[in-house]
Amino acid sequence: MLFNSWEFFVLLLITFGLYYIPALQKLQIPILIAASLVFYGYHQPVLLLLLMLSILINAVSSYGVFYGRKEQRLLWASLGVVVNLAILAFFKYSSLVYQSLFGHEGDIALWLSGLPLPLGISFFTFQGISLVVDVYREKQKGEGRISIEKNFGKHLFIITFFKAFFPQLVAGPIVKAYDFLPQIKRKLMRDIPWDSAFKLLTMGYFLKMVVADNMKDQTFWIAYPYFQLESSVTLAAMLFGYSMQIFADFAGYSLIALGLAALFGYRMPHNFNFPYISTSLGEFWRRWHISLSTWLKEYLYIALGGNRKGKTRTYINLFLVMVLGGLWHGAAWSYAIWGAWHGGALAIERAVQTWLKKRKTKTAGLGTIPPEVAGRIAATSEAAAEKHWSTPFLKGLYMLLVFTFVTIGWLLFKLPEFHHVILYVSSIATNFHRGIDFGKVLYILIYSLPVIVYHMVYLIRQSKGQAWGRRLEPLFYAVMLFFILLNSGDAGEFIYFQF
């Protein structure tokens, strides 16, 4: 069920009405669970069996970790993680692995290729893994941020709600148990943050329905073989437009999810923080899909050793984490290449930053000075150098370079066949003789403008203060509502639903 479908709005109205009826306040959680199951199983009810299996696995393993004997905690946690990953691998990667090893022919290859990809399986699997791992870590440290009900039935009930809560069920943000579970209590309508919820929902639906859904009609022509007939300028414009579209689509979904959760009294983490103003790739990944980036860092990068085992191992860890993060997005080798594209660049960027820092220290002649004094002087020199090299022009240049790098990488999302990506890049380099499709280019620029303004307003507020433009906010939101009602594109699935 799509957030921008009439079926969802009917479900939302019914759920909201029942949820806040005083006589039904004790049933608020069952009401949300029922609505979430309807939301998830509306088009393919059979997939509810997989969701319930995933919930049961995580409920059992987290309960075993919390209440099992100390020497069995690691076993319970390991079983929970392995079974979660096994289910994800079977449904998402078995066909890719089999066809890579044995080819596309045969009954097994045909059967595996026909397996449905359960909606949101990557998201609710990672959420389940974080639950099991966090409970294990908390017990090992003796901390108490996560409390598990002694009664297993109550525990299963709570974990069902935690994993199935419909705003974040199919495309995140990936929510942590220690953030969500303490929020489970009776909610009152008077406590709804109406202003915040309205802004989140309006901005989210505008980005999705006006920007992304209209842009998809222009970026459709990136598909093979249509792009071969377009000019170099049109191809570059369409790729730029897809970069705008994928941001508007996923950031829009995340904002809608946050707004819907707020309507029912729950807070979820923000997933995007104006990523296209990033001046480095490291900053980009601190701003883009924050819940996934954080998950990969906490549960994979650190587990591999992080930066604690030397420079070479750090670079290898960065590369491996991004390759695996790429494969998380889809069962095609192009996603692994996309991860390698970012992982390799992150490793190089980190190596260059380390080299520059050492060079500054050496140039400043700090080698013979006591370490604590040298550290203070180096920090002062580094701050001065950063200020010198952070002129508006250079910042703009860095932003452009990072955005261009990221945008080229999005081709691997739009064209899963890698040889089509090569052909697209080749067409950009050779199709200058073809006529420019000014209609496509104009539409792309028009629907890219809101995303550009969205980031520019943030930059201006950072330099002039958060109060800047506050008086114009009602006008901005009124304009967005106007376009949502009168200029929404044809409803399309959210891009990240495929992941």
Q: Rounded to whole angstroms, how far apart are CA atoms 402 and 275?
A: 10
pLDDT at 379 over 70: no
At 156, the pLDDT band (50, 70, 90 cuts) reads very high
Q: What is the pLDDT of residue 370?
A: 59
Q: Which pLDDT does position 113 carry in this prediction?
A: 77
Residue 203 makes CB contacts below 8 A (sequence gap 6+) with 252, 255, 477, 480
- How far apart are the C-alpha atoms of 62 and 3, rounded to whole Å? 31
pLDDT digits (tens, 9 = 90+) for 160-181: 999 999 999 988 799 999 999 9
How many residues appear in the chain? 499
Q: Which helix (H) or strand (E) is 66 found in, with range? A: helix 47-67
* pTM of the full structure: 0.90
pLDDT tens, position by position, 32-56: 999 999 999 998 898 899 999 999 9
Calculate what percentage of the chain has a pLDDT beyond 90.
67
465: left (phi over 0), alpha (psi -120 to 50) or beta: left
Q: Among 292, 273, 302, which Cα is nearest to 127's?
A: 292
Q: Is the pLDDT of residue 242 over 90?
A: yes
389: confidence class by pLDDT, cuts 50, 70, 90? low
Residue 127's pLDDT band (boundaries 50, 70, 90)? very high
Find, among 49, 54, 79, the residue nearest to 64 by Cα: 79
What is the per-residue pLDDT for 53? 95
Q: Which residues contact 10 (CB under 8 A, 6 or more apart)?
A: none
What pLDDT does residue 366 have? 52
- pLDDT at residue 386 in the model: 52
pLDDT value for 362: 65
Instruction: Label residue 191 exposed, middle or buried (CB < 10 Å: 0-12, 13-18, 19+).
Output: exposed
Please give the C-alpha separations between residue 112 and each of 95, 116, 335, 476, in angstroms, as whole numbers. 5, 9, 19, 49
pLDDT over threshold 90, residue 13 = yes
Cβ proximity of 394 and 278 under 8 Å: no
In this structure, the dihedral spanned by the alpha carbons of residues 434, 436, 439 and 440, taken in order and rounded to 10 degrees, is 80
For residue 387, name the pLDDT band (cuts at 50, 70, 90): low
Contact 305, 184 (CB under 8 A): no
* pLDDT given for residue 219 in this prediction: 93
pLDDT of 265 over the 80 cut: yes
pLDDT tens for 71-100 read: 899 999 999 999 999 999 998 888 888 787
Q: What is the reported pLDDT for 439? A: 93
Residue 99 and residue 155: Cα distance in Å, rounded? 41
Confidence grade of residue 484 (pLDDT, cut at 50, 70, 90): very high
Task: Kindly tell me if the per-residue pLDDT of 381 is higher than 60.
Answer: no
Q: Is the pLDDT of residue 118 over 90?
A: no
Active-site annotation, residues: 329
Owner of token pair 């002062």? 380
State yes or no: pLDDT of 376 exceeds 80. Answer: no
Spatial separation of the C-alpha atoms in residues 356 and 363, rounded to whole Å? 10
Measured in degrees and rounded to the nearest 5, phi and psi for residue 495 equal -55, -40
| 149 to 70, 162, 288: CA distances (angstroms) | 18, 14, 35
Give the DSSP letter string of 175-201.
--HHHHGGG-S---GGG--HHHHHHHH
| 292 vs 296: CA distance, rounded Å | 6
Model pLDDT, residue 371: 55
pLDDT tens for each residue of 195-204: 999 999 999 9
pLDDT over threshold 60, residue 378: no
Query: pLDDT value at position 2?
Result: 85
Q: Quote the mean pLDDT of the chain.
A: 89
Measured CA to CA, the distance from residue 301 to residue 140 in angstroms comes to 20
289-339, pLDDT tens digit by residue? 999 999 999 999 988 888 888 888 889 999 999 999 998 888 788 899 999
Segment 435-458 mean pLDDT? 95
Give whole-number Cα distances, 387 to 383, 398, 399, in Å. 6, 14, 16
Residue that is written with structure tokens 């076993």 in the block: 75
- DSSP assignments along 278-322, one per residue: -SSHHHHHHHSSHHHHHHHIIIIITTTTTTSS-HHHHHHHHHHHH
Which pLDDT band holds residue 390 (cuts at 50, 70, 90)? Answer: low
392 confidence band (pLDDT: 50, 70, 90)? confident
Mean pLDDT on 13-31: 95
Q: How many CB atoms neighbour CB 295 within 10 A?
A: 23
- The one-character DSSP state at 115 is S
Residues 6+ apart with CB under 8 A from 174: 123, 126, 127, 130, 168, 291, 292, 294, 295
Asked if residues 402 and 280 have their Cβ atoms less than 8 Å apart, the reply is: yes
Q: What integer pLDDT is reported at residue 134 of this predicted model?
A: 93
E strand segments, 63-142: none
Find how far residue 120's CA is from the centre of its chain: 12
C-alpha gyration radius of the chain: 24
pLDDT at position 97: 81
